[in-house]
Amino acid sequence: MLSTPWLAAIAVHFLAYNLIRTLIAEACRNTERLPIQVSFKGVIQLFNSFVSLLSFSADCNKAHAILLHAIIKNKVGNRPGRIEPRAVKKRPKAFRRLNKSRELEKAEITKRMKKNSNKKCSSAP
């Protein structure tokens, strides 16, 4: 199914993302908090710190309940004035980007100008 390492890595990232979102949804199910109010990065950090507790705990259900309770306490901070503009930083310009050295570009321009001036001289009556 996953023929390349790239696809396998992407699949693992999607799996981890869905796991974190499922934990957030499960934690919010019995409370008044919405999933958008819970910090995603905070849940990742909590989960990383709880991995050893969840894997080596005798009472896994209790550890899971503690994790869900900790997730609910981890809310997104108030970030006033955080409005991101929907615009591109680099505006389109009338000229193409200079990808070669200036010397090479100048030489090509000079060559083109000489070529064009020769065409005009030969076609003059």
Q: Token pair 């005009």 is at which residue?
A: 120
Alpha-helical runs (H) found in 29-99: 40-56, 60-73
Residue ranges of domains in the chain: 5-73
Give 100-124 pLDDT, tens digit per residue.
Answer: 888 999 999 899 888 888 776 655 5
Backbone angles phi, psi at 38, to 5 degrees: -100, 135
pLDDT (0 to 100) of residue 74: 86
What does the alpha-carbon distance between residue 98 and residue 79 come to, in Å, rounded to a whole number?
A: 40
What's this model's pTM, rounded to 2 decimal places?
Answer: 0.59
